[in-house]
Each structure stands twice: as structure tokens, then as C-alpha cells.
Chain A
């Protein structure tokens, strides 16, 4: 693959002027099709490439990046200049893998050639299906992405990979609002969005058509997969090797303890190639593996990149990623501990049975402001972009103007049930999670 061809020359030059060198390189092509109010609105496309160079000299780190591959001298100059600042380097860059890396099935070779017309036709089909069943405005985002990347180190790692991802996210908007119910379908190749997913979206939308103000006070709260990231974010932050090293994690001293309910197993699984984006090595060239952070509620350990693993005296876990969850350009970001393939293990209970078991409570369909609580502490305090009120096992309607607050360690200590299906969502793939005794603030009615 040509992805490494420019990188090799650069690595050789960098190696000559440092103790160790590492080149990360990426090429990405993307087409994004968006529908608003049931009609094709925009097609934005992009072909991007770039490279990042890290060097180590005397225990110090140098870093630089560029997009156009015709500027290797600038990249080298930048990395060597950056060395002068004296940032601490990881103990070393990756060497060749000790054992052959598993061969992952991550590329559907046909996706790149699928005409954009075909994606538009699929969007039309989804719009038609939903419009027959719901009165709300239908928006769709469909994305096709093809990525190739490689990591090359002076220690002998020479790794390349690729991924194809097709995703379609149908949304039905609430009237007078941009709040929406949605669910995302994703796959390695182009495929029709299953009707069961569309039916779920339609059903949720219909449930919002009647207003039903929630009552304030502690009650049961059902987080749908799309809102479970509120909880997963806090668990992820506190199990990062960086937070542990910086003494900002409330669970730093609790490895081996039962921290969460026994029904919560929280793990990262980069090698699962049944879903898009599996990775055999991270962005530093460290081999990956499945890592359980909480196994049946017991804290098992932390995840780290090479730098923080070194500081904590542990082996790197293959979680050094140039994570772009909050935007930014992949090559411009330095690797840091990051869970990119996060899962909460599914339980046994079907969604309908979870709702049926709720005497009184709120369903968080879409949270608002997941980022504004005290994340290191595990606290959350979210508004409801879309929430539903439940009474006597039945959805009564749209819960407006309420805030759901708690602490993730208390909340996930009071689990009532874990759903039996995973859905792709922000931060990972999650089941629905029903918990008890969560504070809901609302106007008294």
C-alpha cells in the first residue's frame, strides 16, 4: 500500500537526527449525504491526507505534522525544533509486534465504488418508509468513509491498516424544535437500514406526541443506548491511565473492588471485526487486545498509551489514539489514552419488558449537556432533549423541562436491568440501562 511510501523516506531522515522516530500517516475519503425535511439537501465530500512525525532524543519528545506529503523537510524541521521544548517522551516507540497481529476483516472493497446515487436512493427509501408512519419532520445523515493508515517506527514496526464505514442515521424531529429521536445503522459496506431500526424510531417518535410532564423526585430512569454515553463517559474518564496518574480519578485505588452493580461489564474490544473500525494496533503501533475495565462490576484496571503506561509502570494496553471525538485534525492530535471500541455487555431484558416493569420514571432518549457535569467525579446533570414519562409500565408521553442528575457510581450501583441489544452510539456500543433512585428535578405540577 502506498500509504507508507512517503513515510519511509521521512523516517530514515528523522532517524538520522534522533534516538527514535515514528511516522503516522493517514488517507481518508468521505461523502456525506444529508436530508432535511425529507429532501436531499447537501452532499459534502472530502479527500484528505496527512502525516505526523514524533522523535525522541535524550528522553525528550519532538512532534510535528503536515497534510501535504510534498513537505517532508518542514515536518522534520518542526519535530526537531519541538524537541528543544523538553516535553517528556514515552519510554520508547513501538517495535515490531511480538506475535503476528490478527488479520481483521475491516474493509468492504465494494464500498468505495458504490455510486452516490445509490446512497441517495437508499435515503429516499428510508424517508418514504418513515413518512408513511410518522407526522414529524424526517432528517437523514448518511456517510461513506474509506480510510487507510499506517505506523512506521525506527524500532521496526511497519504496520498498515484500513477501514470502510457506511452509516445512516434517520432522525424524526419534534415539532418546533431540533430535538429528534434517532438511531444509527452502521456497517462495513453499503446495506439497507433494517426495518426494525426504523420501526424503533417511528415508535419512539409517536410516544412523544402527547405531553406528560414528569414528577420531581427520585425515581427509575431508563437510559436508551443513545444516552448511555452520559454514564460511559464518566467511567471512561476515571479509568484512563492519565487521570489515574494525575490523581484525578476517584477509583484510582479501587482495583479489584466491586464498584458497580454485578450486571455491568464495561470493556473495550478493538478486535471485534463484526462491527466497523476494528483495529489490530493503535495509533502508536502498539498491538491491541480486548480489555475489561469493569467485569461484572469489579474494577479490573486502567487503559493507557505508551506515555502514561510508562509513568504508571504498566504495559501499554494499545489505547494510544489520536482521538478526534471533539473535533480537530487526526494528524495534529498527539496520541493519548482513549477507548475507541467501547462496549457495555448486553443483559437479558428486552426493552419492552424494561419499560413494562417501571412503576414511575423517565426514559432518557436524548440527553442535553452530558459534558457539563463534574466528569472526573462521576457526576452528571442532564437536560432532556427528548425524554419520556412512564407510569405503571406504560409510556405516557413527552417529558419536558426536567433535569436528571446523579453520580455514576451510585447510579450504576442501583441497576434494575440491562437491555439485551447493543446499538452504536456516541462513545461505543451500548444496551439500554434501567436504574433506580435517580434524582429528577422538574417544576411541581
Chain B
């Protein structure tokens, strides 16, 4: 394959070019209720070419090798157009030129597991949820996705890396009268098939929660103190803070960039945040990004002070900051953009009970459903929660969505728990989907959070 990639690069007349070929093989099983709706395995493949000429960087994705000439022609034309119009030439930060092959260490390689076994596993999980009286339907799925990537650049980089993602879970819907409640199970990982086996308890637990929600009260809208469980605190970190650590979102947004200057004290002393794609065993793990840059851990916030951000080669040069290896593409249809790997709030020293006690009255909110950000505002949902009175858990509440302002909320994080847990599935959308976007956090206590209620 590298011969093919070199033959494409040889046709490009430019200051720099790179080309990525990847084959993505997805095996999936899906049930809707008791019925199997999907099973099978298929592959897609294609090329992504990037051309930098006189400061114009253009990208071109194409399926067929036969289209390579057209791709080279068009990318060159667009690079010239960009060079003519761009106020400042695009530069790429200097990086180590890597020639390496990286295959992740897998507990069990899902490619060696027969599809019948994947079907039986999914059927069993699905049956657990459907076994609950008030559960009316489920969507239960299994998938393994293997990206086999080849990267070559005119600088001489030649990198082979495989990304193997496994996932299981779905939605469990319970109904009583006109009331419908749905919760989700989200399990999986980046290190093999064993990340999706032995998950019976998780399905049983969530089916029970769905049933219990039918008897819960809707939360009353208003301003609350809240303790967020690790998955919710993690999604907050990802949505509200993480996206504004992505330098491509800041590069040409001067008013945001002014607020997000390194050294700015944006959070409370309790908050330290890192992103680390090199953590093996976490969903977000990779060795090299889709620009061929070796990934490295980045301290984004230390005790409330902004200390770093996530970069592509382009943004690293534009900001004069070190490249971090965070330019990642969804698959062979896309050029890489700046993405989080594994972002997490570092552990503090307070136990879960200690957080509840310190909060006094408020809400304990668990597990995310959705989330969105638009700069300083963010919104996300909690699958379920409990009222907390005098530091003790009280009745269950449902239909919880919270909104907030990034800057205020980071300051309002009063206290951080002592144990970090990480998400096991991803699906962050930023024009492309990142299935391996991983977030983590300990429990956190936040003051003055707006909760929407009906």
C-alpha cells in the first residue's frame, strides 16, 4: 500500500503533502425489542490527500485509486485558491518524522471471535432488559470497528496503525400508562473483546433504573447545588471545557481566544484537567494521530489555571505552542480535525459521602444522555437522579437537563472526588463522529446549576 501512497504523493507539486489510506471493517449486531434487525460485517476504504502549497492547505477525500489524478489536480487548485485568499499562510509545526507500525495490545482480538458468539452475547444482554415487566422495548447492539490506517507524507513519514473499537449497549425503554422512560447502557473499549463480555449486571442495573423512573417525580426547574457522577462530570468536562481546548475552534475566533489565554484563571482551585491519548486501556487510546504526529499527554488546566491546549500541526504553528498529536479523522472520508483523546478531571481528595455531606441539600445526578455546547453555554441531560437532603440521598427524580455557562461553572466546582472513572463508548459530533472520544472524572460538587424542569 505504501507504494500506492508514494505514487500519489509523487504526482503532487507542493511544499508538503500527505495521504492516508484506510480500511474500516465494521461487524455489527442489533436487536430492536426481541427482534434481530441487523447482523453482518462489511468494509469501506478510501484515501485522504492533503496538499500545502504557498501557505494554502486543501484536502481531498476519494474512494477509488482511479480518482487519484483528479484528486491531485483539485487539491492543487484549491490550495492555490486558499493561498491567494488566506490572510496568513498556513504553516505546519515541525514534528518528528515517524516510520513505525503500531498495533494496540488486545485482550481478545474481536476479529478472531466468530460472529455467532457476538450474536449470542447481544441476545443475552437484550433478554436481560426485556425480562423486566415494564420494559416495553430495547435497542441493543454490538459492534466492533477496525480501522487499518496507512499514512505517508512527503517528509518521509510512513506509519501503520490499527484502531480496534468494541462496543455494546443501547437503550432500554420502560412504559406505564402514557409515561415513557429510556435509559442507556454504554460499554466497550479500545483493547479487545473482553471489554464487552461479562456485562450482565450493567444491563440488569439499568433495566431496574428504567422501571424505577416510572415511579419517580419529574425534577422541579430551578437553581441547585449538584453532585455529578463521573460520567456526567466527564461529559461536562468534554462539552463545556474540552471543546474550547481544541485549538482549531479558537484559531480564528479572536474573542474566544482572548478569554482562553494560557495562564488565565478560569476554574476553581479544585479543577485540574488533562487529555492523554497514550493511556492504554482507555477508549481514547492511539499512538499517532491522522497527521502522523506522536500523541502526548497535555495538561489543560492546573488548579483552575489554563495551561495547555489540543493541537494539530497547523494550530500548533499558529499559536506557537507544542504540537500534541490531536488531529483525528472519523474515517477514510475525512481530513483530520482537532479532537480530544481521553480528557479527564484529575482526582481530588474527597469521598463520595463527603461530597454529599458538604453539599447538604441539592441533587445527585447520574449518567449522561446527550450534551451540546456553543461556546460559553452548554446543556446536557442526566439519565436519572436523586434529591439530596441534609447530605443524604432521598427520592429519585427524572427528566433532568442542566444548562450553564462554561466560565461560571468552572468557578463553581467546589470540590472534587477521589476516584476517576472513564467513559467506555464515544460518539462526539464535530462535523465528523469520533467513536473513541473518551472522558473521565471523579464525582464533583458544583454550585448554582440551572436545572430545567417541566
Contact = CB atoms under 8 A, between A and B. Distances in A.
A63 B371 CA distance: 32
Contacts of B37: 87-88, 334
A79 B43 CA distance: 12
A443 B373 CA distance: 20
Interface stretch (A196-204, A274-282, A343-351, A371-379): A371-379
Given A178-B375, A405-B401, A63 B38 contact: yes
A406 B403 CA distance: 15
Interface stretch (A38-46, A157-165, A186-194, A261-269): A38-46
How many A residues touch the partner, as a band?
35 or more
Contacts of A37: 252-254
A368 B377 contact: yes
Interface in A57-112: 62-70, 74-75, 78-79, 81-82, 85-88
B26 interface: yes
Contacts of A400: 377, 405
Given A47-B71, A216-B221, A374-B399, A439 B376 contact: no
Contact of A385 (B44, B75, B374): B374
B41 interface: yes
Most B CB within 10 A of own CB, among A42, A328, A385: A42
A377 B58 CA distance: 45
Contacts of B404: 401
B113 interface: no
Given A40-B85, A137-B255, A178 B249 contact: yes
A374 B182 contact: yes
A117 B81 contact: yes
A179 B375 contact: yes
Contacts of B178: 250, 377
A227 B433 CA distance: 22
Contacts of B258: 176
Interface in B56-79: 57-64, 67, 70-71, 74-75, 77-78
Nearest to B181: A374
Interface stretch (A7-15, A146-154, A241-249, A294-302): A241-249
A177 B58 contact: no
Interface string A199-243: 000000000000000001000000000000000000000000010
Contacts of B370: 369, 371-372
A439 B453 contact: yes
A376 B369 contact: no
Contacts of B372: 368-372, 383, 385
A373 B63 CA distance: 38
A86 B36 contact: yes
Contact of B64 (A68, A180, A366, A407): A68
Contacts, number: 289
Interface in A270-290: none
Contact of A242 (B32, B78, B85, B222): B32
B180 interface: yes
B281 to A, nearest CB: 26
A82 B182 contact: no
A47 B62 contact: yes
B46 interface: yes
A441 B449 CA distance: 11
Contacts of A40: 81-82, 85-86
Nearest to B256: A176
Contact of A46 (B41, B62, B405): B62
A85 B63 contact: no
Nearest to B221: A441
A135 to B, nearest CB: 10
Contacts of B115: 81, 85
A382 interface: yes
A313 interface: no
Contacts of A373: 381, 399, 401
B377 A372 contact: no
B134 to A, nearest CB: 12
B40 A79 contact: yes
A419 interface: no
A246 B138 CA distance: 9
A1 to B, nearest CB: 17
Most B CB within 10 A of own CB, among A368, A375, A406: A368
Nearest to A378: B180
Given A48-B333, A250-B178, A381-B452, A441 B222 contact: yes
A113 interface: no
Interface in A320-351: 326-329, 331-332, 334
A44 B329 CA distance: 13
B119 A404 contact: no
Interface residues of B, dominant DSSP: strand
B447 to A, nearest CB: 12
Given A179-B376, A332-B44, A46 B77 contact: no
B371 A45 contact: no
Contacts of A177: 255-256, 374-377
B136 A247 contact: yes
Nearest to B44: A67
B175 interface: yes
Contacts of B42: 64-66, 75, 78, 332
Contacts of B61: 44-48
B81 A36 contact: no
Contact of B255 (A117, A176, A334): A176
Contact of B403 (A124, A326, A403): A403
A369 B136 contact: no
B40 to A, nearest CB: 3
Contacts of A44: 58-61, 335
A383 B62 contact: no
B343 to A, nearest CB: 18
A62 B402 CA distance: 43
B397 interface: no
B63 A45 contact: no
A369 B75 contact: no
B180 A377 contact: yes
Given A43-B58, A242-B32, A247 B175 contact: yes
Question: Which 5 A-B pairs rank lowest in CB-CB distance, beginning with the nearest?
Answer: A177-B375, A403-B452, A369-B379, A85-B39, A372-B381
20 contacts: A36-B253, A37-B252, A37-B254, A43-B78, A45-B58, A47-B63, A68-B63, A78-B40, A85-B36, A87-B35, A178-B253, A178-B256, A326-B429, A331-B44, A370-B372, A381-B453, A383-B377, A386-B374, A403-B401, A405-B454
Interface of B: 26, 29, 32-33, 35-46, 57-64, 67, 70-71, 74-75, 77-78, 81-82, 85-87, 115, 119, 136-137, 173, 175, 178-182, 221-223, 249, 251-256, 258-259, 330-333, 335, 369-381, 399, 401-405, 429, 432-433, 448, 450-454
Interface of A: 31, 36-37, 39-50, 62-70, 74-75, 78-79, 81-82, 85-88, 116-117, 120, 124, 137, 173-180, 216, 242, 246-248, 250, 326-329, 331-332, 334, 366, 368-377, 379, 381-386, 400-407, 439, 441-444
Given A44-B61, A368-B374, 19 more contacts: A37-B253, A42-B58, A48-B61, A48-B333, A62-B40, A67-B45, A75-B42, A86-B36, A176-B258, A177-B256, A178-B249, A180-B374, A216-B222, A327-B330, A332-B26, A381-B453, A382-B401, A382-B452, A386-B374
